[in-house]
Structure 1
Amino acid sequence: MMKSITIFIFCCLTSVFAYSQDKPNIVLLFSDDAGYADFGFHGSKTMKTPNLDKLAKQGVKFTQAYVSDPTCGPSRAGLITGRYQQRFGFEENNVPGFMSKVSAADGWDMGVPTEEVTLADYLKKQGYATAFYGKWHLGGADKFHPTKRGFDEFYGFRGGARSYFPYSDLPPSKMDLMEKGFGNYQEPAKYLTDALATEAVDFIKRKHKEKQPFFAMLSFNAVHTPMDATPEDLAKFPNLTGKRKIVAAMTLALDRACGKIIDQLKKLGIEDNTIIVFTNDNGGPTDKNASVNYPLSGTKSNHLEGGIRVPFLMKWPGKLKANTTYTNPISTMDLLPTFYAAAGGDVSAIQNIDGVNLTPFITGIDNAKPHETLFWKKDARGVIRKGDFKLIRFPDRPAELYNIAEDISESNNIADAHPELVKSLFKELFEWELTLERPRWMLKKEFEKVDIDRMDAYRDQSKFLD
C-alpha cells in the first residue's frame, strides 16, 4: 500500500514539473535610446552587434514595430500594461518629474497607477518567476516599486538615467542608485551593462535548477546618456571620434550583455524552450548620443517614424520560423498578450488592453494585420496610422499626411492632395482621444517647443550616416 502511495506521489510531482517545464521561459531584452540604423541586422557596417545579428537570423525580424510613445517612461508604461498609457493618464512626461507644477500628481506621486495590472502580474498568475533588471522609470515612490508591481526580484534603479560606473559619492537622488530588492542599495562592481547581464544569468540558473518557468526583463539603460564606455570597448573603434565612438562602444557592450544571456540559455539546454525578444523603447536622440535612425526621419520625442518605429526581434524555436521577416505593423503593447498566451493564459479574458497576441499573425494562422489602426498622443500633438496612411497633427503648423509604404522617410507630405482623407483621419483621431483619461501630470509648455525644435533640426537622418 505504501509503495503504491509513493508511486502515486512521484507521478504527481513528475507531472507538475513536466507541466512547468512545458511553459516557455521568456526573456525580454530592452535597450534604451538606440538608433534604428545602429545594428548589424539593420545594415550598419559601423556598429558591432554579432550576438543580436545572430538572433535576427535565428528568429523573426519585424520591420514595422512601434512603441506607444517616443519617450522612455510613457513607452515603458504602454509595454508593461499592454494599453495605451494615455488611458490611465501617463501621457506627458517621464517620471518622477519635478518640472510640471500644474498637475494633480507631481514628483514622487507620478507613476503607473497601482490599479493597473502589469505584464509581470499576468505571468505570475501562470506560475512564472519574474525578475526585472535595469532602468525602471515607471514611478519613484515605494508603491510603484517593481517588487510591488509583479516582479519577484529587482536589481536596477528607479529613475531614467545614471552613470554606467559605480558612484563613489552619493548622486543627487536615490532614484539614480542601484537597488537590489527593495531598499537595499548596492552599486555595481563593474560596468553597469555587464553587471545587469550577470545578475540576470544568476536568476536564470537558479530558476532552471528549481524547474520553474521564468520571465526576465533586462531593461538596459544602454545606450541612453550619460555617454559612458570602457576603455577596452572604445579601443574597438579606432576610426570613430566623439559621441559616435562612445555610442558604438556602448552598443558593443549592450550586444555582449545580450549574448551572455543567450549563451547561458544554450548552456543550460533551455534555448529551445525560451522566447527571446529584443527591442528598444523609442527612437535614438541623435543630438544627445549620436544615434542614427536612417532611413527613418526624426528622433526620440517626436512622432516621425524615427521616434516611434524601433528594432524588434523575436525567437521562439519550434513556433516561429527562423530567418524570416514580418512586415505588418505591430506594437510593444502586443508583448503582454503574446507572452500571456504563450504562458497558457486566456487572452480573451483580459479586459481593456490594446495589444494583441502576435503568434497567430506571425505563424500565418491569421493573415489579417494585427493592427489596422494605431494612435499616438502627447498634449496637442496627435498621430493616427490607418493602413499605410499616417496623419500627424501639430500645435504650430498644418497637419502632415504620409503614405508610409511608399515614403518611409516621410519626405513627401501629401495632405494637400487628400483633403477628405485628412478630414476623416482627424475625426477618427479625435474620437479616440475622447476615450482617454485626462493627463495626471503635465509639462510646462516650453518643453513642447524643445521636442518640436529637435524634430525640425534632426528630421533628415541621412546627414548623420557614417
Structure 2
Amino acid sequence: MTTPSPTRSSPPRLVNLIRRALLAVFLPAVLPPGYSAAPGQPNLLLIVSDDHGYADAGFQGAKDLRTPHLDRLAASGVRFTNGYVSHPFCSPTRAGLMTGRYQQRFGHERNPFYDPNDAREGLPLTEKLLPAHLQSAGYLTGWVGKWHLGAAPALRPERRGFAETYGFIGGGHRFREWQENVAVEYNVPIERNGQREPAPEHLTPAFGREAGAFIRRHPAQPWFLYLAFNAPHTPHEPTPERLARFSAIKDPVRQKYAAQLSLMDDAIGEALATLRDTGQERRTLIFFFSDNGGPVSVNGSDNTPLRGAKGSVYEGGVRVPFLVAWPGRIEGGRTDHRMVSSLDVFATALAMADVPMPTDRKYDGVNLVPYLTGEKVGQPHERLFWRNANLLAVRDGHWKLVRGAGKSDELYDLEKDVGEKNDVAWANPAVTTRLAAALEAWNKELIDPVFQGTAGRAGNAKKAKQKKK
C-alpha cells in the first residue's frame, strides 16, 4: 500500500504557481515522451457509471453493444487494464473516492439505508471530502447524478462541498415515468441545489444536459464536476427507440442493458462535446470508471474474462473499465497495465489543484499524473486491498490472495490466470504466507462498520417479523 509522503517540505503554493509558469515557457522542447507543460489548475471531470460490466464497452472489446463516445475518450487518453475500485459495492467505493482513503478506515463498509432522518447512515462527518478541499483552492464544484452517501440533511452534497447540485440522493432511481414519493428511495424527487425539480422525461439524457450546462456556465474558473450516473444499474428503462437499436441481442435483459448503456454513452458524449465546443478540452483532466463490477446475473452485464461479480472480491467485483484522459498534457491512445485505483482520484486532484495532501490521517491514493507523463516510472501501488464483510483480498504485483469465510486462503497468478480459476497456494507457500501477513496487518488498521446499512436494516426487519410469529 502506498501512502503519500508528508507535505511539510513542499514549497508554498505561490512558488508552485511560479514554477508551473516557468515550466510552461522553458520546457516544451525538452519534455519527456507523453508529457506536455502544465496549464495551471486544470478542470477536473470525474465520470462514474453504475454496475457497469468489465467487458461492456467498445474499448474493452464488446461486439454486441456500442459506446462510441467512451471509445473516443479512450482513444484520447489512457486505458488501464488493471483499474480497480476500492470496494465491490456502490456506496463504499464512492466514499473511498471522495476521501482518498479505504472507506473501512472510517467505517463506511456498507450501502447506507435511505433514511433522511438518520445522520448515521452515510459518509461520516469526520471526513472532509474532495470538493471541500478543492473549494479552498478556488475551484467551482458541481455534482450531477447519483449521491448514495447519506440522505440526512448534514450528509447531502450541498453540505459536503458541492456548490451546484442536480440529481437524486439515494442509491438508485427509476429512469422515467415514476410517481414521486419522498419516502420511496427509487421514486424520490429530483433536486437542484437541494430544491425539488420537475421530473425530466428520462434521467440519463438529463444528466448529460446538466453536465454540459455546468461546463458552459464556467468557461474561465477552474471547476470540479462529479458526474455520477445511475446507468446501467437496474431498473432498465430505455426509451423504445433506443431499445430497437439493439434488436440483434436476443437476451431481453442484455438488450435493455445495452440500450441503457447506450443512453449513458450519449450523455457522456454531450459533456465531452461541450468541453470541445467551449475550448476547455485540453485543460480538463478526466477520469472514467464504474463503481463496481457488473452484477451479471441481475442486469445482463458481462465481466469476461474475470471471475465474480458485484459484491465479490474476485476480479469481477472490483476490476472495472478505467480511463484517464487529459489531451493537453497526457499522451493519449495508450494502454497501461499498471495497477491503479479509484482512491487515486483524490490525491491526483489535490496535486493538480496545488492543494497539499493533509497530514492529519492516513491516505491511500497516489497522484497518477507523473506516472502518465513519464516523470515517474514503476508501479503507483505496491499492493491494493479489499474487504467486504468477511471477504478479503490483496493484490501484490501479479499475485492475488483471496480469503473467504471459513475457507483456506486462495492464491492466484493473475499474469497467467486472470480468470482466477487455478488456486496455486499449495505450490507457493512463501508467497501465500507473505500476502496473508500483509492482509492481516492492513485489516488491523480498519474499523467495523459504523452504520447498519441496507442489508443490516433488512436483516433486523426479517428477525423482528420471525419473532412475532
Q: State the TM-score bracket (shorter-chain normalisation).
A: 0.7 to 0.9
CA distance 1:129–1:71, change in 2 (3 Å): same
Residue 52 (1) aligns with residue 61 (2): no
Match of 1:267 among 270, 274, 277: 277
- SS of 2:297's equivalent in the other structure is helix
Q: 1:396 to 1:187 in 2, by over 3 A?
A: farther
Matched residue, 1:459 = none
Contact 1:96 1:108 in 2 (8 A): no
Q: What residue in structure 1 maps to residue 362 of structure 2? A: 352
Aligned equivalent of 1:83, options 96, 101, 113: 101
Structure 1 49/76 Cα, relative in aligned 2: closer, same or farther at 3 Å? same
1:419 CA displacement? 2.2
Distance in 1 of aligned mates of 2:382 and 2:297: 33
User: Following superposition of structure 1 onto structure 2, how do residues 22-421 of structure 1 map, counting pairs within 5 Å?
Assistant: 22-91=40-109, 93-96=110-113, 109-170=120-181, 172-173=183-184, 176-208=187-219, 211-241=220-250, 242-347=252-357, 351-421=361-431
* Gapped regions of structure 1 (runs ≥ 5): 1-14, 16-20, 99-105, 448-466
Q: How far is 1:37 from its partner?
A: 0.5
Task: Give the superposition deviation at 1:109.
Answer: 2.1
Q: Residues 299 and 306 of structure 1 are in contact (CA less than 8 Å); yes or no, is this contact kept in structure 2? A: yes
The letter of the residue matching 1:163 is R
Mean alpha-carbon deviation: is it higher for 107-116 or for 172-181? 172-181
TM-score by length of structure 2 reads 0.85
CA deviation string 1:171-216 (max 9, x = no partner) = 64267424434541224322100001111111111111xx211111
For the 8 Å contact 1:33–1:300, the answer to whether it is kept is yes
Deviates more, 1:163-172 or 1:343-352: 343-352
Q: Distance in 2 between matches of 1:183 and 1:268?
A: 28
Following the alignment from structure 2 to structure 1, what is the Cα–Cα distance between the partners of residues 313 and 95? 17
Q: Secondary structure at the match of 1:30?
A: strand
1:158–1:176 contact (8 Å) kept in structure 2:
no
Which one is further off, 226-235 or 377-386?
377-386
User: Quick one: distance in 1 between partners of 2:189 and 2:46?
Assistant: 20
Amino acid at match of 1:237: F
Q: Report the count of equivalent residues.
A: 421
Unaligned runs of 5+ in 2: 1-20, 22-38, 460-469
The answer to whether the 8 Å contact 2:411/2:425 transfers is: yes
What TM-score do you get using the length of structure 1 for normalisation? Answer: 0.86
AA of the residue aligned to 2:168: F
Q: Residue by residue, what CA displacement relative to the aligned partner does 1:373-422 show, whole Å, maximum 9, x if unpaired?
A: 11111222211111211111110322211011221111111011122322
Q: Counterparts of 1:194 and 1:97 in 2: how far apart (Å)?
A: 25
- The answer to whether the 8 Å contact 1:140/1:175 transfers is no
CA contact (8 A) 2:313 2:388 kept: no
Distance 2:173 2:180 in 1: 13
Distance 1:177 1:129 in 2: 27
Moved segments of 4+, more than 4 Å: 348-351, 442-447
* Equivalent-residue separation in structure 2 for 1:152 and 1:263 (angstroms): 23
Identity across matched positions, percent: 40
User: Do the aligned residues in 2 keep the contact of 1:66 with 1:308 (CA within 8 Å)?
Assistant: yes
Distance (whole Å) between structure 2 residues aligned to residue 188 and residue 433 of structure 1: 44
Bigger mean CA offset, 285-294 vs 171-180: 171-180
Shift of 1:258: 0.5
2:360 and 2:193 map into 1 onto residues whose CA distance is: 29
Contact 2:112 2:150 (C-alpha < 8 Å) held by counterparts = yes
Q: Which range moved further: 321-330 or 349-358? A: 349-358
Q: Deviation string for 1:229-260 (max 9, x for gaps)?
A: 10111011111131110001011101100000
CA 1:446–1:416: 2 relative to 1, 3 Å: farther
Amino acid across the alignment from 1:43: G
Structure 1 residues 183 and 270, CA gap change in structure 2 (3 angstroms): closer
User: Offset at 1:169?
Assistant: 4.4
Which SS does the other structure have where 1:420 is aligned?
A: helix
> Structure 1, residues 8-32: CA drift from partner, whole Å, max 9, x if none?
xxxxxxx9xxxxx842111111100
Amino acid at match of 1:420: A
Cα distance in structure 1, aligned partners of 2:301 and 2:118: 30
Structure 1: distance between partners of 2:258 and 2:324:
23
The 2-side partners of 1:79 and 1:369 are apart by 20
> Letter of the aligned partner of 2:232 in structure 1?
V
Residue 177 of structure 1 contacts residue 186 of structure 1 at CA under 8 Å; is this kept in 2?
no
SS in structure 2 of the partner of residue 56 of structure 1 = helix
Q: Is the 8 A contact 1:131 1:151 kept in 2?
A: yes
Asked if the contact 1:24–1:275 (Cα under 8 Å) also holds between the matched residues in 2, the reply is yes
Cα separation, 1, equivalents of 2:135 and 2:180: 37
Q: Do the aligned residues in 1 keep the contact of 2:231 with 2:260 (CA within 8 Å)?
A: yes
Structure 1 residues 119-128 or 106-115, which shifts more? 106-115
Classify 1:216/1:71 alpha carbon distance in 2 versus 1 (closer, same or farther; 3 Å): same
Residue pair 1:401, 1:415 contacting (<8 A) in 2 also: yes
Q: 1:445 to 1:135 in 2, by over 3 A?
A: closer
Equivalent position of 1:438 in the other structure: 448
Structure 1 CA distance, aligned partners of 2:348 and 2:47?
A: 15
3-state SS of paired residue (1:249): helix
Change over 3 Å in CA distance of 1:63–1:152 after alignment to 2: same
Question: Which SS does the other structure have where 1:202 is aligned?
Answer: helix
